[in-house]
Structure 1
Amino acid sequence: MAVALPVAGALLLSACSSQTGKGDDALQIVANPVAATAVQSPAPAAPPAGTVLPAGNVTAMAADPADGVLAVAVGQPPAVLLYQLGDPGAAPVRVSVPGVVEQLSFGGGRLLAPSAGHVTSISVTGQKSDLAVPGQPAGAIADGGKTLVAVRDRKSVDVYQDGKFVKSITGGLYSADAVVRSGNQTVVLDRLRTAVFLVDVDGGTIGQGLRAGEGATNAVADSYGRVLVTDTRAGALLAFSTDPFLLRQMYPVPGGVYGIAYDAPRHLAWVTLTARNEVVGFDVRGGEPVEKYRFPAVRQPNSVTVDGQTGTVYVGSATGEGIQVIQP
């Protein structure tokens, strides 16, 4: 039986930003780190559960129950598709974007889609505006009146206010791949360094860093002041508390764990297993995750999101085999 390891005190490594590039850097695993990516999926062993809607190769997903919108980013050519959660089979609104979108997030009634030197802000009806962000913006979130952007190649979290650049926060990062807001704390995920760092947005500094397994890929906040991270290389679901900043759980999840979404009303973390073409739902209220659901998924299920109002789960195929709709 799989169990979560007690890691609140042991197995933790932290590093100040001043350690970057030094041989004694406790967060650096190898001399020339390579970011983890999704495990390649085999041919499906079972038909996907639920229903499947046709779509191109899905690169990111997000749901906004308040406005009843499902956002799906696709490539070839890059675009964001806006579906109605109440009628996902209806034709979506298509919004073109400058480049491939890896992450989508809703906030303040708008959708943020970072790609190719821009963060595109999209209304729920499809109107858009582009914010120019130098470099490779990988993730973006709304934080009150601010927009926080993780810029991968510049190793920074950029802060914008009302569409105007405020500052660039750097230090100790090898790459900035996602930014997550948990309670009153901001955390940035560094895939290359496979670590998570606190970010002092007001002070403009990168704070304490913690190792996030052997190959962290994606992150999401839960309802308990934690950040949940998928460790694709080691096959684990990690849970970090943010106050204090500690690794609390490291739960084995074999099968190429990659995509992650959180259903707050039901306390469920949904993760995709690309090596098995599966999607699994874990109850994360207790001392360790408890598996509640497991479904066969579309091939290469790199993306997942959930409608917190109904509990409906949406899984996207990165090989163009559609958008899977599951009602657990």
Structure 2
Amino acid sequence: MRRLTAVSWIALPLAGALVLSGCSSAKDNSDELQIVANPQAARPAVSPAVSVNPAGQVLPGGAVSALAVDAKTSTLVVALSEPPSLRLYDLNALASAPVNMPLYGKAEKLTVTPGRVEIAEPAQGVVQQLSLPDRKLTETKTGGQPASSIAYGADRLVAMGPAKDIQVLPAAGPARTIGGQLYSADDVVDTGTGVVVLDRLRTAVFSLDVAAGKVNEGLRAGDGAANAVADSYGRVLVTDARAGALIAFSASPLIMRQRYPVPGAPYGIAYDAKRSLAWVTLTERNEVVGFDVRGGEPVEKYRFPTVRQPDSVGVDESSGRVLVGSAAGEGTQVIQP
């Protein structure tokens, strides 16, 4: 595995941050973001058997496909693969029995707006919305394979995966679609200063102009962009599962600001805005690492052993607790740093 050096903090075109503008296709040999002939989306490394007891408390359960925390209601929302369902925990009373809610299909991504959780179910062509604390589910039939959904003002933005576009769903009126340049629209992140789309096939990020209905410039995001989250500084933090790195991009303008080596196949990522901590799971090592991202480069503050196959991670900002989900069916871990 190629090891990245920690010195390339300022974004330079020659430091792996290749810029793309205009239209191109997978067959266009001039496409500087195309690094292999047949791109494949980055996947989590297959984790070894657990050799160290996971830190903290482990809540029993099935294979976790996604998890999220609603700080407003102190609710931990865990999506289970089989049967497709949600398991809701009261973070103030973890000893109490969780509430189980069936879903149409496997949830690939959970995204929280205070009091509401967006649930992307690509196999069913549906995005569901869970309101809290009343625990009501509503649905939006998007068609296709929705990969991620976020609230954006009164609208919602849905990344449509292999459809290569973003659906803009207004509170009232017809939906519209924004496409161009993308090979796969796998996640959409609102930093507060700009919106960024993650394209796993192209291992790149793109700036999205929602008002103009346009996908703007793109930058390479390492060798295997996996997951992304916004921080408190107008940036998008991206895990590079193949090269082993944590990459930070400013959103407006789109510039690579940091590229930091993180060995161990970093995959899941969550952000604690109260403490400026990015929590990253290492699927090759069954670990989760907490980085302080306030300075010129990430500083490791915490490292804990996890459950096997820690593909999902979330954080409870009120207490600082870190939640890690096992995709291998070995439970949901609760760690108090």
More displaced 10-residue stretch of structure 1: 95-104 or 38-47:
95-104
Shift of 1:258: 0.3
* 1:136 correspondence with 2:145: yes
Q: How does 1:189-268 map to 2 (within 5 A)?
A: 189-268=198-277
Give the match for residue 95 of structure 1: 101
Match of 1:9 in 2: 12
Question: Which residue in the other structure is 2:38 paired with?
Answer: 32
Aligned equivalent of 1:122, options 130, 133, 137: 130
Q: Deviations over 1:214-257 (max 9, x none)?
A: 00010000000000000000000000011221011110000111
Alignment of 1:104-119 (within 5 A): 104-115=110-121, 116-119=124-127
Residue 304 of structure 1: SS of its match in structure 2?
Answer: strand
CA–CA distance in structure 2, aligned partners of residues 194 and 318 of structure 1: 23
Aligned mates of 1:164, 1:127 — CA distance in 2 = 23
Equivalences for 1:59-78 in 2 at 5 Å? 59-78=65-84
Shift of 1:165: 4.2
Deviation track 1:139-158 (CA, whole Å, cap 9, x = no partner) reads: 11011111100001211110
Alignment of 1:275-294 (within 5 A): 275-294=284-303
Deviates more, 1:211-220 or 1:178-187: 178-187
Q: Does the 8 Å CA contact 2:164/2:183 hold for their aligned counterparts? A: yes
State whether structure 2 residue 59 is matched by structure 1 residue 53: yes
Determine what percentage of the aligned residue pairs are the same residue.
Answer: 54
**Pair 1:20-2:25 in alignment:** yes
SS state of the match for residue 104, structure 1?
strand
| 8 Å contact from structure 2 (residues 72, 114) kept in 1 | no
User: Runs in 1 of length 4+ with deviation above 4 angstroms?
Assistant: none
> Is 1:272–1:278's contact at 8 Å kept on the other side of the alignment?
yes
Aligned match of 2:178: 169
Supply the distance in 1 between the matched residues of 2:105 and 2:265 (Cα, whole angstroms). 26
Q: 1:77 to 1:147 in 2, by over 3 A?
A: same
C-alpha distance in structure 1 between counterparts of 2:131 and 2:45, whole Å: 33
Task: After TM superposition, list the pairs within 5 Å mapping 1:178-197 onto structure 2.
Answer: 178-197=187-206
Unaligned runs of 5+ in 1: none
What's the CA shift for 1:184? 2.8
1:17–1:173 Cα contact (<8 Å) kept: no
The residue that corresponds to 1:297 in the other structure is 306
Distance 2:335 2:112 in 1: 21
| Aligned 8 A contact 1:93 1:126 in 2 | no
- Unaligned 5+ residue runs, structure 2? none
The question of whether the paired residues in 1 share the 8 Å contact of 2:64 and 2:81 is answered with: yes
**Displacement of 1:108:** 4.9
Shift of 1:186: 0.7
The letter for the 2-side match of 1:13 is L
Tell me the secondary structure at the aligned position of residue 23 of structure 2.
Answer: helix
> Whole-Å Cα distance in 2 between the matches of residues 26 and 204 of structure 1?
24
Q: Is the 8 A contact 1:4 1:288 kept in 2?
A: no
CA RMSD of aligned residues (A): 1.4
